[in-house]
Structure 1
Amino acid sequence: MKTVKNRLFRVLKNKARVVTRAGFWKIPHDSREDEISLKVGRYTKPENWDESEEPETHKPRSELTLDHEEFIALIEFLQDNYEPFKHGVKAFIPLDRPFDQSNADQIKALFSLPRKKELVDFILKNEVIPEELAIGLEQAKRRKAIVDFQQMLGNDQVESNWQTWFQENSWVLGSEFVKVLDERHIDTHNISDFLMEAYDGFLDIVEIKRPEGQLRFWSASRDHGNPVPSQGLIKAITQASRYIYEVEREANSIKFLERVDNVRTVKPRGTLIFGRSGEWSSDEIEAYRILNSSYHNLSIMTYDHVLQRARQMVGM
Structure 2
Amino acid sequence: MSRIEGRLAKTLLSKPTVVTRAVFWRIPHNSGIEDICLKIGRYKKSAYFSVGEDLETLQPKSELTLVQEEFRALIEFLQESYEPFRQGVKAFIPLEQPFHNENAKQIRALFSLPNKLGLIQFILDNDVIPEELMSGLNQARRVRAVLELQDMLNKNLKESPWQKWFQENSWVLGSQFVRVLEERQIDTQHISDFLMETYDGFLDVVEIKRPEGGMNFWSQTLDHGNHVPSVELTKAITQASRYIYEIEREANSVKFQQRLGGVRTVKPRCVLVFGRSNVWDDEQTEAYRILNSSFHNLTILTYDHVLERARSICGL
Fold agreement, TM-score > 0.5: yes
Where in structure 2 are the equivalents of 1:82-93 lying within 5 Å?
Answer: 82-93=82-93
Distance 1:186 1:49 in 2: 91
Q: Which runs of 4+ in 1 moved over 4 A?
A: none
Relative to the length of structure 1, the TM-score reads 0.97
2:315 is the counterpart of 1:315: yes
Task: Name the SS of the counterpart of 1:288 in structure 2.
Answer: helix
Q: CA deviation at 1:245?
A: 1.3
Where in structure 2 are the equivalents of 1:15-164 lying within 5 Å?
Answer: 15-29=15-29, 31=31, 33-164=33-164
Relative to the length of structure 2, the TM-score reads 0.97
Aligned to 1:216: 216
Aligned to 1:249: 249
Task: For structure 2, list consecutive stretches of 5 or more residues without a partner in the other structure.
Answer: none
Task: Name the SS of the counterpart of 2:280 in structure 1.
Answer: coil
Q: CA deviation at 1:183?
A: 1.1
Task: Name the SS of the counterpart of 1:137 in structure 2.
Answer: helix
Q: CA deviation at 1:189?
A: 1.6
Where in structure 2 are the equivalents of 1:217-296 lying within 5 Å?
Answer: 217-296=217-296
Distance 2:239 2:155 in 1: 26
AA aligned opposite 1:207: E
Q: CA deviation at 1:29?
A: 4.1
Task: Name the SS of the counterpart of 1:19 in structure 2.
Answer: strand
Distance 2:69 2:203 in 1: 64
Distance 1:33 1:130 in 2: 47
1:119–1:32 distance in 2 versus 1, CA, 3 Å: farther
Distance 1:31 1:304 in 2: 60
Task: Name the SS of the counterpart of 2:75 in structure 1.
Answer: helix
AA aligned opposite 2:118: E
Distance 2:214 2:3 in 1: 83
Query: RMSD over aligned Cα, in angstroms?
Result: 1.2
Aligned to 2:167: 167
Q: CA deviation at 1:143?
A: 1.7
Aligned to 2:13: 13
Distance 2:189 2:68 in 1: 73
Task: Name the SS of the counterpart of 2:37 in structure 1.
Answer: strand
Task: Name the SS of the counterpart of 1:62 in structure 2.
Answer: strand
Distance 2:30 2:306 in 1: 62
Q: CA deviation at 1:48?
A: 2.4
Distance 2:201 2:114 in 1: 31
Number of matched pairs: 316
AA aligned opposite 2:202: F
Task: For structure 1, list consecutive stretches of 5 or more residues without a partner in the other structure.
Answer: none
Q: CA deviation at 1:32?
A: 5.3
Distance 2:23 2:258 in 1: 77
Q: CA deviation at 1:258?
A: 0.9
Q: CA deviation at 1:216?
A: 0.2
Distance 1:211 1:182 in 2: 24
